[in-house]
Amino acid sequence: MTIDQSSKAGETETLLRASRLCVRYTRGGWLSKRRPVEALHGVDLEIKAGSVVALAGVSGSGKSTLARCLACLEKPTSGEIWFEGKNLVGLKQKELVPVRRKIQLIFQEPNASLNPRFTADEIVSEPLLIAGVGTKREQRERALTLMDLVGLPAHLGSKLPFELSGGQQRRLAIARALALEPKLLILDEALTGLDLSTRAQISNLLLQLQELRALTYLCISHDFSLVTHLADEAVVLADEVVVLDGGRIVEGRAPELVASSRQSHPDGPPEATSNLSRHPVHLL
């Protein structure tokens, strides 16, 4: 096998695969009858290395539950999650520590997930401190390097999160997620709430970082037009668009479904999601 052939083969390898994933909760309390709720029902999802997988669904469809399960922050009721040859569901907490470094979750509201008492460079270097990587000086240098990588100048390193704009906070959250050199970034509503200009800047940044760092993305949103933006741009990656509806995956053929959704419902779900669920076809 030539070098080029080997490279192409590596690009198509499966990085993460969820099989028959189910999550059940029990809701209710003192004043209401307790009842079972199935947040995820038999979800199958495959993410190829180096790809951008877009996941859309209305609020309550199970998107955040799926994100937490894939990031090893929540254990599913049943099913399997395979990552680099290991079934993560069967691992103990101690065994999950190195896996969590490779799968990073960026939350919807970065300001809420950033320590308000930490400066920007302290926020980025915190994962390195927790993991015991490098000296304090090396950690700060690494943090400033990552900030520069995402377009944050060094003088912002002494700023607190509330002193940064919404776009700068998103960049800071991305820099922090990159600190431990992950392979998979799960972006939960990462573009939501941004103006068009900032949204374009952040999405372009993510695509640049993907090329530089060989990253894989799972981009989640309730807004179908937002979640497909990365997939639209990264046409060379044979990306996938997936719809989650009622805890179940509905697969769609990206070009037809995206076009149909935007023409009928330019503002995105809930209508777009229900329309897509009527047209289950194979992914690209």
Q: How far is CA 63 from CA 43, 100, 241, in A?
A: 11, 19, 14
Per-residue model confidence as pLDDT tens digits over 42-66: 999 999 999 988 888 888 889 999 9
Assess if residue 282 is contained within a domain: no
Q: Evaluate whether 25 touches 88 at the Cβ level (below 8 Å).
A: no
Residue type (1 letter), 25: Y
Assess if residue 183 is contained within a domain: yes
Assess if residue 221 is contained within a domain: yes
Q: Based on the structure, what is the number of domains in the chain?
A: 1
- The CATH number that applies at residue 101 is 3.40.50.300
Q: Would you place residue 277 in the very low, low, confident or very high pLDDT band (cuts 50, 70, 90)?
A: very low
Residue with structure tokens 């990588």?
149
Assess if residue 202 is contained within a domain: yes
Q: Are strands 216-221 and 52-56 parallel, antiparallel or unpaired?
A: parallel
Q: Is the pLDDT of residue 17 over 60?
A: yes
C-alpha span between 100 and 71 (Å, rounded): 6
| Average pLDDT over the chain, rounded to an integer | 80
Assess if residue 283 is contained within a domain: no
Assess if residue 251 is contained within a domain: yes
C-alpha span between 227 and 94 (Å, rounded): 33
Assess if residue 153 is contained within a domain: yes
Assess if residue 254 is contained within a domain: yes
Whole-structure pTM value: 0.80
Sheet hosting strand 184-188, strand order edge to edge: 103-106, 184-188, 216-221, 52-56, 240-245, 248-251
Q: Would you place residue 227 in the very low, low, confident or very high pLDDT band (cuts 50, 70, 90)?
A: low
Closest by CA position to 47, among listed 23, 74, 71, 27:
71
Q: Which of 89-93, 120-124, 216-220, 249-253 has the lowest mean pLDDT?
A: 249-253
Q: Evaluate whether 216 touches 11 at the Cβ level (below 8 Å).
A: no
Per-residue model confidence as pLDDT tens digits over 186-195: 998 877 777 8
C-alpha span between 200 and 191 (Å, rounded): 9
What domain range includes position 182? Answer: 3-276
Give the pLDDT of residue 262.
45
Per-residue model confidence as pLDDT tens digits over 74-122: 999 999 999 998 999 999 999 999 999 999 999 877 767 899 999 999 9
